[in-house]
């Protein structure tokens, strides 16, 4: 995307649309924002529900995107507006969005639509064909090694460190979405600070398994967190 013109001169193309799919909290929005920041493209964000609730929203969004090109248009919960039209009461809105994305109304260069969904199976097949949301990227909870790296970096950015190894903390949180991992880590840090303040002690700036387990009980709703599953 940084060298879009060179790509096109060489016979390549940039996608008109991409689909980010996977469970909630796996970083779809964050990656879209990071892509815009890395490439220097404008970032416009909306949701499927917003596009459905206002008949003029798509036209305004498209006009703004053309004015701020190069731009990424991010549509969160896109299945709301791109649901299979057999079961949708908003066919006209879906049709309009698909027409814009595939360039049938006039292709606009340097414009990328990214749709994010937790439920790709309910989306209209026409939205997923080539020329529309052509490239599909799956987002899944990180594995243990990736999670250990994320925990180490997250703590380092805060000026904290793991009392146990990041790998040991990752084993407790494996299978959790990144959003949940961040919330658990932040809660553990907050409680460590509060505990030291109540005791009139110095803050050690370390968290271990005990602090993490306590934070998980606070943040993760049952049955998402079964403490017995993480013992021994």
The span from the CA of 85 to the CA of 105, in Å, is 20
Label residue 4 by pLDDT band (50, 70, 90). Answer: low
- pLDDT greater at residue 202 or residue 226: 202
Mean pLDDT, range 90-100, rounded to an integer: 89
**Helices of type H across the chain:** 4-9, 28-39, 48-53, 57-67, 91-101, 125-128, 144-158, 166-173, 178-199, 209-219
Distant-in-sequence, close-in-space partners of 75: CB < 8 Å, separation ≥ 6: 46, 47, 48, 51, 81, 113, 114, 115, 116
Mean pLDDT, range 53-76, rounded to an integer: 94
> Considering the chain, what percentage of its residues have pLDDT values greater than 90?
71
> Considering the chain, what percentage of its residues have pLDDT values greater than 70?
87
Q: Domains of the chain, with CATH numbers?
A: 3-138 (3.40.50.300), 144-220 (1.10.8.60)
Q: Which of 5-19, 40-54, 88-102 has the highest mean pLDDT?
A: 40-54
Label residue 109 by pLDDT band (50, 70, 90). Answer: confident
Looking at residue 230, its pLDDT comes to: 45
Find out whether 183 and 219 touch, Cβ atoms under 8 Å. Answer: yes
Does the pLDDT at position 166 exceed 50?
A: yes
Label residue 102 by pLDDT band (50, 70, 90). Answer: confident
Least confident of 13-17, 69-73, 147-151: 13-17
Does the pLDDT at position 31 exceed 90?
A: yes
Looking at residue 8, its pLDDT comes to: 58
Looking at residue 224, its pLDDT comes to: 47
Looking at residue 136, its pLDDT comes to: 96
**What is the model's pTM?**
0.76
Looking at residue 231, its pLDDT comes to: 40
- pLDDT tens, position by position, 114-146: 999 999 999 999 999 888 999 999 999 899 999
The span from the CA of 136 to the CA of 146, in Å, is 21
């Amino acid at each position: 995307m940084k060298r879009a013109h060179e790509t096109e001169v060489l016979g390549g193309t940039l996608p008109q649309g991409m689909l980010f799919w996977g469970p909630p909290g796996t970083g779809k929005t964050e990656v879209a924002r990071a892509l815009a920041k890395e490439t220097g493209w404008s970032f416009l964000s909306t949701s499927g529900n917003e596009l459905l609730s206002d008949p003029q929203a798509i036209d305004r969004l498209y006009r703004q995107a053309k004015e701020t090109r190069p731009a990424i248009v991010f549509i969160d919960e896109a299945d709301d507006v791109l649901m299979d039209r057999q079961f949708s009461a908003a066919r006209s809105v879906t049709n309009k969005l698909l027409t814009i994305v595939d360039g049938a109304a006039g292709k606009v260069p340097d414009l990328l639509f990214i749709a994010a969904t937790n439920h790709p199976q309910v989306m209209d097949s026409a939205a997923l064909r080539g020329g529309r949301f052509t490239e599909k990227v799956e987002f899944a909870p990180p594995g243990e090694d990736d999670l250990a790296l994320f925990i180490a970096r997250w703590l380092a950015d805060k000026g904290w460190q793991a009392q146990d190894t990041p790998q040991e903390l990752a084993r407790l949180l494996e299978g959790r979405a990144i959003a949940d991992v961040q919330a658990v880590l932040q809660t553990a840090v907050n409680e460590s600070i509060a505990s030291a303040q109540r005791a009139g002690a110095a803050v050690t700036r370390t968290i271990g398994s005990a602090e993490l387990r306590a934070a998980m009980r606070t943040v993760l709703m049952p049955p998402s967190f079964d403490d017995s599953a993480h013992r021994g």
